[in-house]
């Protein structure tokens, strides 16, 4: 059963169905039971019970069973204000030297957190923060008493100016969002007028922030962000080396109330923070558990249920298209989707910039792995074929020469890797890549070297299958074009993961001597 990007094991769903039918466990106990059976943990190794309780209503609705009533929590209230916090809050004007040593204390104890809440309640216009999830607060103090509060929370999943600056797509955002912190509160107590105090505090905090957050929550952040009301200049952030990347749109007055536009400021915590955050995540094979579906489940559901597309609408549409392909195998798009609306929807999906050919192939590879794991020996056969589109060369972009560049033939090359059993039964597609040769000749050696890399990528796919299926012998098969010494070297380095078989064809030339009627054979 699937909720979002997470697929729950059949054993977990069976336990949850039985527990809901008995009705003896609370939501907290149900959430912990799900975490134990799924081994659902955060980076610190703690069970994600809060996340499990969040998905409980969806799981119960899919099972058509009622959830137990939620236990009422304590009433939300603002902490009582401290009418006269001790120390410099009563007023101090002078220099940093006169103020003395400024310390940044991690608010770990309940008493320190209550003091932070009281200072925010009295001196910050928005009061104490109420954002859920991970939090880290610092108490700023001098010899005379507390000076202010700095607090950080997990960053919001979507923030327009930040995402545009980083060039994030949905998958990259989902992979790296936990590496970003949000500074949701920063306040210095009223009456303290010390030049450069804010930038001095930021300098001390940023030196320890990444280390403290990792100790508290198990993840080392790479960047910190904040949103400043557009009516404020953000002077302290600018002085501390933050970068303004734009402003949010805000929200006009209405049913949800007015929200002022805010400027977004970013500050790296690592030297190469931007490069790390923009790095595309790798799609790892075997990230989903084995599917257990009803016998009536369609091929499309079995193949596409494990798609890791972040957008659920795209996953649903992909499965619907798979059902149409299943009904009309090998047909053109107009035959598969006879209605104009369906054809437009299919065309839009295939041209969607947020989905690539690798996204369509990814769930197929997961299904292939599941079938490979029940076989003793699997042959992963790879070969190259051509798609001749010579008649479309005048109206189609991206085609290239199929033979020598002086010829008129134009089209694409396609290299596929397909798994088979020893008896020849196909198991699924592991790799599929296509390319066009450039019109300008880069040199025969350079072109051969570039195109030969496809054999290495196919062999890497076989190694991945072998690593995920240690009980199965995986043999990668290629024709004489894959007879590359470096490829044999790579196989010898990790022979246990996959074997390599090159089908070298033998050509026999027969020459007949007419005078003696003898046939001479040569190879």
Residue keyed to tokens 């916090």: 85
In a domain, 181, yes or no: yes
What does DSSP say about strands 400-401 and 499-503: parallel, antiparallel, or unpaired?
Answer: unpaired
Looking at the structure, tell me whether residues 272 and 291 fall in a common domain: no
> Are 150 and 96 spatial neighbours (Cβ–Cβ below 8 Å)?
no
Do 19 and 113 fall into the same domain? no
230 plus 317 within the same structural domain? no
From 354, 373, 392, the end of a domain falls on: 354
Which token pair is 126?
């928005």
pLDDT tens by residue, 2-31: 666 677 877 888 888 888 888 888 888 888
Structural domain contains residue 376: no
> What Å distances lie between residue 379 and 454, 476, 481, CA to CA?
17, 6, 18
Residue spans of beta strands (DSSP E) within 123-201: 135-142, 145-154, 180-188, 192-194
Same domain, 331 and 197: no
> Which 3-state string (H, E, C) describes 25-51?
CCHHHHHHHHHHHHCCECCCCCECHHH
pLDDT of res. 268: 94
pLDDT score for 1? 64
**405 domain-assigned:** no
- Inter-residue contact 481 to 448 (CB < 8 Å): no
Residue 264 three-state SS? strand
Check whether residue 145 and residue 218 sit in a common domain. yes
- Kindly state whether residues 106 and 255 are assigned to the same domain: yes
pTM equals 0.69
Q: Which of 278, 310, 330 is the last residue of a domain?
A: 278
Tokens of 38: 């799924």
Q: What is the pLDDT of residue 4?
A: 64
Q: What is the pLDDT of residue 223?
A: 96
Structural domain that includes position 131: 94-278
* pLDDT score, position 451: 80
pLDDT for 373:
92
The low-confidence residues of the chain, meaning pLDDT below 50, are: 74-89, 255, 507-523
* Residues 263 and 300 grouped into a single domain: no
Query: pLDDT digits over 241-300, tens only?
Result: 999 999 888 765 554 556 778 899 999 999 999 999 999 887 788 877 777 677 777 888
Query: Domain count of the chain?
Result: 3
332 phi/psi in degrees, rounded to 5: -75, 165
Whether 217 and 268 map to the same domain: the answer is yes
Out of 260, 278, 296, a domain closes at 278
Q: Are residues 338 and 233 both part of a single domain?
A: no
Give the pLDDT score at 385: 92
**Are 111 and 230 contained in the same domain?**
yes
What does the pLDDT read at residue 189?
86
């Amino acid at each position: 059963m699937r909720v979002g990007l997470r697929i729950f094991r059949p054993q977990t769903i069976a336990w949850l169905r039985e527990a809901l039918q008995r009705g003896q466990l609370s939501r907290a106990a149900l959430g912990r039971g799900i975490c134990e059976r799924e081994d659902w943990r955060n980076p610190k190794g703690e069970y994600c019970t809060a996340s499990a309780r969040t998905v409980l209503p969806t799981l119960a609705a899919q099972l058509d069973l009622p959830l137990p009533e939620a236990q009422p929590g304590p009433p939300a209230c603002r902490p009582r204000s401290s009418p006269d916090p001790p120390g410099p809050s009563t007023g101090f004007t002078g220099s940093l030297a006169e103020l003395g040593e400024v310390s940044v204390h991690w608010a770990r104890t309940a008493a320190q957190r209550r003091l932070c809440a009281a200072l925010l309640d009295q001196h910050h216009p928005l009061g104490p923060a109420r954002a859920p999830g991970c939090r880290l607060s610092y108490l700023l103090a001098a010899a005379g008493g507390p000076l202010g509060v700095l607090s950080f929370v997990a960053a919001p999943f979507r923030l327009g100016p930040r995402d545009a600056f980083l060039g994030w797509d949905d998958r990259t955002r989902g992979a790296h969002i936990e590496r970003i912190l949000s500074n949701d509160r920063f306040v210095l107590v009223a009456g303290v007028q010390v030049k450069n105090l804010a930038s001095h505090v930021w300098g001390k905090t940023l030196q320890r922030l990444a280390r403290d957050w990792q100790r508290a929550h198990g993840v080392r952040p790479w960047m910190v962000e904040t949103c400043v009301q557009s009516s404020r200049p953000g002077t302290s952030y600018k002085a501390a080396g933050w970068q303004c990347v734009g402003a949010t749109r805000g929200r006009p007055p209405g049913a949800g109330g007015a929200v002022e536009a805010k400027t977004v400021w970013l500050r790296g915590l690592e030297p190469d923070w931007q490069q790390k955050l923009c790095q595309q995540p790798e799609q790892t094979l075997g990230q989903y558990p084995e599917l257990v579906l009803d016998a009536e489940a369609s091929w499309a559901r079995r193949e596409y249920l494990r798609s890791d597309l972040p957008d659920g609408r795209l996953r649903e549409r992909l499965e619907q298209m798979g059902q149409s392909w299943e009904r009309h195998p090998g047909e053109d798009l107009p035959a598969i989707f006879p209605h104009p609306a369906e054809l437009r929807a299919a065309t839009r999906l295939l041209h969607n910039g947020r989905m690539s050919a690798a996204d369509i192939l990814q769930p197929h590879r997961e299904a292939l792995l599941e079938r490979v794991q029940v076989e003793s020996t699997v042959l992963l056969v790879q070969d190259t074929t051509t798609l001749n589109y010579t008649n479309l060369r005048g109206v189609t972009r991206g085609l290239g020469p199929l033979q020598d560049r002086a010829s008129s033939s134009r089209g694409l090359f396609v290299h596929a890797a397909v798994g088979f059993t020893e008896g020849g039964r196909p198991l699924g597609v592991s790799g599929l890549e296509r390319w066009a040769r450039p019109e300008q000749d880069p040199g025969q050696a350079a072109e051969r070297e570039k195109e030969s890399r496809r054999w290495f990528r196919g062999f890497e796919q076989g190694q991945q299958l072998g690593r995920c299926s240690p009980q199965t012998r995986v043999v990668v098969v290629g024709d004489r074009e894959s007879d590359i010494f470096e490829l044999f070297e790579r196989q010898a380095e990790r022979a246990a993961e996959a074997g390599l078989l090159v089908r070298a064809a033998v050509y026999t030339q027969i020459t007949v001597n007419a005078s003696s009627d003898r046939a001479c054979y040569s190879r």
